[in-house]
A and B are shown apart, each in its own frame.
Chain A
């Protein structure tokens, strides 16, 4: 490969993946209670279809998709529905959730084949089956997968990109999935290619995961046009616009989606999940995730039932260390700190990072000295320096004129700022304020 596969700007945070990079995936035991928020995906929340007292088997639907950009939610363990009400959500709010008391003596044997086998299905039936299985993007954004598998007619897709960059520090979810389940990934890819009617697929993996590249290369299917690409190690390589730029050299227009340049991007874990869904006939009720950081005693890669509460998850990893201080859902660059250990793992939770006192030492903020480091790091070429100043004086309308909408809150500017100005936080606030203004108008 001649051209170096990369995008411009970005940052090089410490990788910190050693804690779990070589730890094999193991299954965690079922907790005693499962909490399934009805809003685990981007789009409209699902509608609860169970009542307190109902008995549900593992894999039964507890929430129905409500609209096109919505997916159902399924019980990840057999038990009795205790409550359908508000519960702490990892995003910091209380949101509607179905709470299930897991039957202590149940063998947790699922009903047989809830999702049909894929071989005999037409394209439309396949997409519908993916939707019914509640599959969403497992890379973090949790966008319903069936929507990405049914692009509009006016946007022809020529390439499927599989995102194995995993550029967030600490996380090794996708890494371990590729190392341990390469065939499953290829099978999922085959199903996706059938769904989209696309002949070409490319898998992008950052160079720092040679064992994953090796495993994926060794199992490449010969009858499909699938290629593996080694990517430069740089954050945010796994952001889909950056990935498309690095591998294909195409630039997704501002405000548009990858499909407008003929590309669909799926995360490694999502692809593997699609294969798993059709393999087992079970909907998406568990996922692979990394629980790591110096604040947890036994950093692990786990298969976790969706809806497991944070405290049970940490217990399964040996508990907190004495200096644990902050629990972050997702990676450290974009993840959210949770306020409650009752917040459950969602379908889109790529990992949980527990930071220690030493990791979260408060830093003094200084005035902006216009060093320009934020401009040099912004992968979408914005001017965080000016945006930051506008945000501090609450001039949100002007921020819009400076392309605030293109900001994806990747955190590069905040990472690199020597004055420790919380730029991504300011931008998120501005985005929320603008959205409020627009809905009010």
Chain B
């Protein structure tokens, strides 16, 4: 018998086939149908904007990230997600800058994967919203001529975009807020409305998220909690004053709520680790969304709601530590 050269490793000697890059690339995969929908609705502009945002994210990760971190897929997710929450007509250089900012200041500055507090894609969008408010709130009309660019996508950096002859329209939330006009529910759920590239196709987003939830790549409690909270508040308010407050389905399927709840809030790094914490986190987001939408100055509040709750995650984690098996009652603990 020939004796092998023995290897010594620590237990457990088995491990689940899932890995962090596998989870990340699955999220990327699950985003492809959403990207497809955005191309269907917004034409070549969608391809250009999403590519520009992704390029910004990837280049930054490649230059400043640790070696090989490009392969873990997380920068790819950030790039695509950022692209999906931008309007179709935005100049490409802005989308690129958003990607750079999101990865650079949203993630790498904290130490890279796993260290960031805020969702990098949303931070990139928040930056763009603050820097280029006009470009970020011009919503081209969908499906007027598929091949036509939906704005001055090709504007040179730091030049003011040319006035392009495209029709724009308000988003359903804008319509509701500033003109008290509703939107047909079918158009809302299927995505044939104005809005950011990837946020309109609510049903599709739900399906893609369902796939991730089944594979346990996202914690279903977060979107469930957000939907539940928004629904309950809207139903109550709608009952009080149906003329002023829209119904629950409108609230759920309009704006970036679906994309935000399914893909942004569930970012593992910036959401709570405990299941109870996830319910609390979702409740907070849902509540803030309703408050900002109905009483705030902005038409849409999903982005700020999620970023605000991101900031609270360490506190939520600390407050929702699990009770150890056989322990009398939860101990007060200090966490990192």
Could you tell me which A residues sit within 8 Å of B by CB distance?
A: 11, 13-14, 92, 169, 241, 251-256, 295, 311, 314-315, 319-320, 324-328, 332-341, 353, 355, 359-360, 363-364, 366-373, 375-376, 378-383, 385-386, 389-390, 398, 401-403, 406, 409, 411, 414-420, 422, 424-425, 428
**Which residue in B22, B272, B324, B327 is a CB contact (below 8 Å) of A418?**
B22
Question: Which residues of B sit under 8 angstroms from A372, Cβ to Cβ?
Answer: 219, 268, 272-275, 278
Instruction: Confirm or deny: B297 has a beta carbon within 8 angstroms of a beta carbon on chain A.
Output: no
Closest 8 CB pairs of A and B: A411-B12, A367-B114, A380-B325, A425-B10, A332-B13, A254-B326, A372-B273, A366-B20
Question: Contacts A251-B325, A253-B328 given: A325-B4 contact, CB under 8 Å?
Answer: yes
Question: Contacts A372-B274, A386-B336 given: A419-B20 contact, CB under 8 Å?
Answer: yes
Q: Which residue of chain A has the shortest Cβ distance to B113 in the bound complex? A: A367
Instruction: Confirm or deny: B163 has a beta carbon within 8 angstroms of a beta carbon on chain A.
Output: no
A11 to B14, CA, bound (A): 11
15 other contacts beyond A253-B327, A333-B14, A420-B19, with CB at 8 A cut-off? A241-B326, A254-B324, A254-B325, A328-B11, A332-B11, A332-B14, A337-B6, A339-B6, A341-B6, A367-B20, A367-B114, A369-B23, A386-B335, A409-B11, A414-B11
Question: Which residues of A sit under 8 angstroms from B36, Cβ to Cβ?
Answer: none
Question: Which residues of B sit under 8 angstroms from A401, Cβ to Cβ?
Answer: 331, 333-334
Instruction: Confirm or deny: B184 has a beta carbon within 8 angstroms of a beta carbon on chain A.
Output: no
Return 14 A-B CB contacts under 8 Å, by A number.
A251-B325, A325-B4, A333-B12, A337-B6, A338-B8, A341-B3, A363-B19, A371-B23, A375-B273, A378-B322, A403-B331, A411-B11, A419-B20, A420-B15
Q: By the criterion CB–CB under 8 Å, are B18 and A390 in contact?
A: no
Question: Which residues of B sit under 8 angstroms from A314, Cβ to Cβ?
Answer: 1
Name the interface residues of B1-55: CB closer than 8 Å to any CB of A: 1-16, 18-23
Question: Contacts A241-B325, A320-B1, A320-B3 given: A334-B20 contact, CB under 8 Å?
Answer: no
Question: Which residues of A sit under 8 angstroms from B19, Cβ to Cβ?
Answer: 363-364, 366, 418-420
Q: By the criterion CB–CB under 8 Å, are B16 and A11 in contact?
A: yes
Q: By the criterion CB–CB under 8 Å, are A366 and B12 in contact?
A: no
**Which residue in A338, A340, A375, A424 is a CB contact (below 8 Å) of B10?**
A424
Which residue, B13, B113, B268, B326, has most C-beta atoms of chain A within 10 A?
Answer: B13
Question: Contacts A328-B13, A402-B333 given: A369-B269 contact, CB under 8 Å?
Answer: yes
Question: Which residues of A sit under 8 angstroms from B322, Cβ to Cβ?
Answer: 375, 378, 381-383
Instruction: Confirm or deny: B216 has a beta carbon within 8 angstroms of a beta carbon on chain A.
Output: yes
Question: Which residues of A sit under 8 angstroms from B326, Cβ to Cβ?
Answer: 241, 251-256, 380, 406
Instruction: Confirm or deny: B112 has a beta carbon within 8 angstroms of a beta carbon on chain A.
Output: yes
Q: By the criterion CB–CB under 8 Å, are B113 and A366 in contact?
A: yes
Instruction: Confirm or deny: B247 has a beta carbon within 8 angstroms of a beta carbon on chain A.
Output: no
A333 to B7, CA, bound (A): 16
A140 to B12, CA, bound (A): 15
Instruction: Confirm or deny: B115 has a beta carbon within 8 angstroms of a beta carbon on chain A.
Output: yes
Question: Which residues of A sit under 8 angstroms from B6, Cβ to Cβ?
Answer: 325-327, 337-341
Total residue contacts A-B, CB cutoff 8 A? 187
Q: By the criterion CB–CB under 8 Å, are B4 and A324 in contact?
A: yes
Q: By the criterion CB–CB under 8 Å, are A415 and B16 in contact?
A: yes
Q: By the criterion CB–CB under 8 Å, are B273 and A311 in contact?
A: no
Q: Separation in Å of the B325 CB from the closest CB of chain A?
A: 4
Q: Separation in Å of the A431 CB from the closest CB of chain B?
A: 13
Q: Which residue of chain A has the shortest Cβ distance to B1 in the bound complex? A: A319
Q: Separation in Å of the A175 CB from the closest CB of chain B?
A: 19
Instruction: Confirm or deny: B137 has a beta carbon within 8 angstroms of a beta carbon on chain A.
Output: no
Q: By the criterion CB–CB under 8 Å, are A334 and B12 in contact?
A: yes
Q: By the criterion CB–CB under 8 Å, are A360 and B219 in contact?
A: no
Which residue, A169, A295, A355, A383, has most C-beta atoms of chain B within 10 A?
Answer: A383
Q: Separation in Å of the A309 CB from the closest CB of chain B?
A: 12
Q: By the criterion CB–CB under 8 Å, are B9 and A326 in contact?
A: yes
Q: Separation in Å of the B121 CB from the closest CB of chain A?
A: 15
Q: Separation in Å of the A371 CB from the closest CB of chain B?
A: 4
Q: Which residue of chain B has the shortest Cβ distance to A372 in the bound complex? A: B273
Q: Separation in Å of the A318 CB from the closest CB of chain B?
A: 9
Q: By the criterion CB–CB under 8 Å, are B333 and A379 in contact?
A: no
A373 to B275, CA, bound (A): 10
Q: By the criterion CB–CB under 8 Å, are A359 and B13 in contact?
A: yes
A335 to B10, CA, bound (A): 8
Question: Which residues of A sit under 8 angstroms from B8, Cβ to Cβ?
Answer: 92, 326, 337-339
Question: Which residues of B sit under 8 angstroms from A415, Cβ to Cβ?
Answer: 12, 14-16
Q: Which residue of chain A has the shortest Cβ distance to B317 in the bound complex? A: A386
Instruction: Confirm or deny: B72 has a beta carbon within 8 angstroms of a beta carbon on chain A.
Output: yes
Q: By the criterion CB–CB under 8 Å, are B2 and A254 in contact?
A: no
Q: By the criterion CB–CB under 8 Å, are B2 and A320 in contact?
A: yes
A114 to B114, CA, bound (A): 62
Question: Which residues of B sit under 8 angstroms from A13, Cβ to Cβ?
Answer: 12, 14, 16
A295 to B271, CA, bound (A): 42
A341 to B325, CA, bound (A): 38
A355 to B20, CA, bound (A): 24
Q: Separation in Å of the A424 CB from the closest CB of chain B?
A: 6
Q: By the criterion CB–CB under 8 Å, are A335 and B336 in contact?
A: no
Question: Which residues of B sit under 8 angstroms from A315, Cβ to Cβ?
Answer: 1
Q: By the criterion CB–CB under 8 Å, are B274 and A353 in contact?
A: no
A319 to B1, CA, bound (A): 6
Q: By the criterion CB–CB under 8 Å, are B12 and A381 in contact?
A: no
